[in-house]
Amino acid sequence: MKRLACVVSYDGTNFSGYQVQPNKRTVQLELEQALKKVHKGQQTHVVASGRTDAGVHAKGQVIHFDSPYHIPEAQWPKALNACLPDDIRITHAKYVSTDFHARYHTSGKEYRYRVLKSEQVDVFRRNLVTHIPYSLNVEEMRVAAQLLVGTHDFSAFCAANTNVVDKVRTLYAVEIKEYGDELHFILRGNGFLYNMVRIIVGTLLEVGNKKRSVNSVRMALEKCEREYAGKTAPGHGLYLWAVQYDEQ
């Protein structure tokens, strides 16, 4: 058996998230069904770098699986894409050591969040961006974003029902870039808590809309309570952009 790591892109609009769920269409289910076809009926388990929620997209999700086949690396994307629906694509494949683990060996991740600034919803982007019809003070948001860079207890910026005990994470960058009528929030860190990116974005949007002050972000970090941060931004604006590994 050989182990392969693959980079996967998907449009999360019509998925109930990544992980297999009973009677739900999920990314993992589609991947495992495609591998079952390639492996002529043999069930293959797929492991991902992490789960994504319903409606969340990925440009650079990473998975691994084991295969008895000795197909050239360049042929794996073609073989799998032929068995996958159009809203999932394998973009790269690489043979890795048999002890490689897509989830446990990650050294960092990058997420991006797209916001559309316009009076009306763009019908063609409605599932790919979060629409904000009001004006935003982007400079104030950038000041608040810099408070989040570094190593902090992000308890205020994760879902209240998470069972993770250690909520200390390091953010290497929190950037806000303007591309035409869109704002892109770019977050890079060594790891992310459940809903962490969406809560950070929701909080920064409240700063931009003058619903909260820059100092309130500092207070949220100090208090470590969910109630001190902003609302959770919708899932459909979020993208798992890239996953890093030490050996890459």
Digit-coded pLDDT (tens) for 216-230: 999 999 999 999 999
Q: Amino acid identity of 183? A: L
Distance CA 141, CA 227 (A): 19
What residues does CATH 3.30.70.660 cover in the chain?
A: 107-245
The answer to whether the beta carbons of residues 57 and 12 sit under 8 Å apart is yes
The answer to whether the beta carbons of residues 204 and 141 sit under 8 Å apart is yes
pLDDT at 247: 67
Phi, psi of 226 (to 5 degrees): -55, -35
| Reported pTM | 0.95
User: At the top level of CATH, which class does the domain 2-96 belong to?
Assistant: alpha beta
Q: Does 113 show up as a binding residue in the annotation?
A: no
| Second-level CATH architecture of 107-245 | 2-Layer Sandwich (3.30)
CA distances from 224 to 92, 131, 156, 216 (A): 39, 29, 5, 12
Phi, psi of 229 (to 5 degrees): -100, 175
Phi, psi of 89 (to 5 degrees): -135, 140
Residue 21 DSSP code: -
Digit-coded pLDDT (tens) for 113-165: 999 999 999 999 999 999 999 999 999 999 999 999 999 999 999 998 888 99
In this prediction, the residues of the chain whose per-residue pLDDT falls under 50 are none
Report helix, strand or coil for 229.
coil
What residues does CATH 3.30.70.580 cover in the chain?
A: 2-96
From the centroid of its chain, how far is CA 222? 26
Helices (H), 68-185: 75-81, 138-146
Give catalytic residues, as residue numbers. 53
Task: With residue 93 as reference, give the H or E element that holds it.
Answer: strand 88-96
